[in-house]
Every structure is written in C-alpha cells, then in structure tokens.
Amino acid sequence: MLGVIEGFAIVLIIAAVGYVFAAVRRGRGTDPQAALTSVIYYVTNPALMFILLAEAPVEEVLRTFAPAALLIAAVCGAVYAGVSLLFFRRSAADTAVGAMSSSYANAGNIGLPIALYAVGSSTPVVSVLVAQLLVVAPLYLAVFSFTQRRAASGRSASGPGALAAGPRPRARPLALLTAVVRPFANPVTLATLAGLAAALSGFRLPGVLWEPVSLLGHASVPLLLLTFGMSLHGQRPLGTAAVRTEVLVAAAVKLLVAPLLGYAVGRWVFGLDGVDLFGVVVMSALPTAQNVYLFSHQFGMKSVIARDVIFLTSFLSFPVILFAALLLA
C-alpha cells in the first residue's frame, strides 16, 4: 500500500514542478515544452526502453503478461472506438486519440514504482511496455500517420488551384509501404526492439556505453512528467465542452473497464491467481500514459483529449489501485 502512495506522490510532485515552471516562464517568449518534447521523443525515451528490456527476463515477459496486456488494450480501444463512431460521430483522428487514451497505460512512469513496491516484481510492467511499444503503439501511430497524411492531402486538394490540377492520383504502392513501415521506424520502437534483441541474445554493452545510455534513460521519466505539468498551465481540464464527453468516456474505460477486464482476462483466460493476478489488475488500472499526449502532439492530432484523460486518470486511478490492492493483495 505504501508503494502505491509513494509512486503517485513522485508523479504529482514532478508534474507540479513543471506547472510552476510554466507559470514562472509565462510571457517570456520561449517555448521550452516543444524542445523538451523533441528531446524525449528522440533521445531519452528510446534510451529508457532499451535499458529496461535489455535486463528483462524475456521468457516470463512473453509467456503471460504481454499477451494479457495486448488483449486488454485491444478490447478497451475497441470499446471506446465503437462508442465514438456510433454515438459521437467523430473523425477517425479524434477517435484514434481517444481510443489510445483509454487503452495505453502509464507503465513507464507510474507502473515501474508501483510494480516494484506493490507487486514486488518489474516483470508485469516490462511486459506491458513490450506489448504497448511493439504492437499497440505502432498500430496507433500508423493510424495517426494515415490520418495526418489524409488531412494534408485534403488541404492541398481544397486549396487554390486544386480544380485546375484535376483529380488527385491514387496512392502509389511506395506511399502505402511508407505508411505501414513508418510507425515501426520511430525511435522508441527501434530502441525497444534493440533492447529485446539484447535480452534474447545475452549481449551487453560495455560499461563506457551502458552508463551514458542508462543516464539518458533515467532522465526520461522526470522530463515526461515536467512536460505534462507544463501542458496543464493555463488550461482548464474538461473546460472544452466539445471534447468533454469523449474525455469522460475514455477515462471511464481506462479506470473501470480496464481493471475489470484485467481481472477477467487474468483469472479466466490465463488462469492466474495470487500476486500474478494482482499484477495484471494493477497494470490494467494504471492511468493513461503521457506518451499518448506526446504522440498526438507530435503528429498534430487533437492532443487536448489525451491531455485531459491523462489529467483525470492520473488522479482517479489512485483510489482504483488502492481498492484493487485491498481486494487482491
């Protein structure tokens, strides 16, 4: 129980520092958040994924927890997407951001301390990271990339001279191949694959290389939390009526559907009990990851949905995880 409280306290304190920093820097003309986002995306996050996976027990990771995480994420994303398309009538881009917000857990930041202190092992959280970074994230990034390209094509087609240019040609095979390969070519996924390969082969970097990579990786968590806190300054969570319903539905799927589904999948699909079942439920109940905001912002999507879902779940997942601890620990 103390581990759960400590994990959330760390997250909230660092995010508060980012918020205060943004308040102090307000009106000075510079935008450190944009620069930090690029540093995290291209440098520190890949380093973190590599060091986590390079030291992971791969057999345990791939045996149970990773398939369970995939199944839970797929069902939660499908639930939100179905509601969004049927009742909200939102675009594919907005639906994708909401679906990822409702199914992508904060395993890297909150999951690590909770797994170590509350579950007693990093295996469940590393398994979630493998499932999300190698399967879930590339699929969502493929959708983000496709919708971004389609929106850009639509703008160019409707711009001046569009009628004179005639109908747009169909997408060539090379463009389709690029859209498929691009999500797997992002730095985080490549680093995850490299870490997984190192763990499977037993390869170890020399100390002179491992230490810098490790230092960069451990810098990723506080930087992510700082940028999240900075993004909250000047904003009113749930203040945008246009996305308020989507945010509430995505948060409900993440906080209620995901942990219940985690219990059902762990207990009746994989036959888990005890600490293993507790690990699956706790990982399912984690709040939405800041990476969802990072990815949506990087691709120019409606990141306000991700930001507000992260805000809500970061606070409301605390009692959910405590309740799960009381029932299952």
The per-residue pLDDT for range 213-251, each reduced to its tens digit, is 999 998 887 888 888 788 777 766 665 665 788 999 999
Residue 171: per-residue pLDDT: 47
Q: Give tens-digit pLDDT for 35-50.
A: 888 898 899 989 988 9
How far apart are alpha carbons 329 and 324 in whole angstroms? Answer: 7
For residue 162, tell me if it sits in a domain. Answer: no
pLDDT over 70 (residue 52): yes
**Residue 206 zone, left/alpha/beta (φ > 0; ψ -120 to 50; rest):** beta
User: Which pLDDT does position 169 carry in this prediction?
Assistant: 46
Alpha helices for the chain (secondary structure H): 2-25, 32-39, 45-54, 58-60, 66-83, 92-103, 112-114, 123-131, 137-158, 162-165, 173-181, 187-201, 207-232, 241-252, 258-264, 274-284, 290-298, 303-328
- 86 lies in some domain: yes
Confidence (pTM): 0.78
**Given phi > 0 = left and psi -120 to 50 = alpha, else beta, which region is 236?**
beta
Q: How far is 302 from 314, CA to CA, in rounded Å?
A: 19
Residue 182 lies in a domain: yes
| 161 part of a folded domain | no
Whether 123 maps to a domain, the answer reads yes
Domain span holding position 279: 2-24+32-154+171-328
Higher pLDDT, 172 or 120: 120
Q: Distance of CA 174 to CAs 67, 149, 171, 180, 185, Å?
A: 32, 14, 8, 10, 16
Whole-angstrom CA distances from 308 to 15, 16, 32, 283, 329 are 14, 16, 21, 20, 30
Give me the pLDDT at residue 183, please: 58
SS3 294: helix
pLDDT of residue 74: 96
Percentage of the chain modeled with pLDDT above 90: 28
State the CATH number of the domain containing residue 197.
1.20.1530.20
Q: Contact, 126 vs 166, CB < 8 A? A: no
Average pLDDT of the residues in 194-209 = 91
Which pLDDT band holds residue 161 (cuts at 50, 70, 90)?
A: low
Alpha carbon 111 to its chain centroid, in Å, reads 12
What number is the average pLDDT over the span 114-136?
83
Tell me the residue length of the chain: 329
* pLDDT tens readout for residues 170-196: 445 555 556 556 656 778 888 988 998
Q: Give pLDDT tens digits for 252-285.
A: 999 999 999 999 999 999 998 888 898 999 999 9
Classify residue 184 by its DSSP letter: G
Residue 14 lies inside a defined structural domain of this protein = yes
**In this structure, is residue 194 part of a structural domain?**
yes
Instruction: Give, in degrees to the nearest 5, the angle at Cα 227 between 225 and 232.
Output: 95
Count of structural domains within the chain: 1
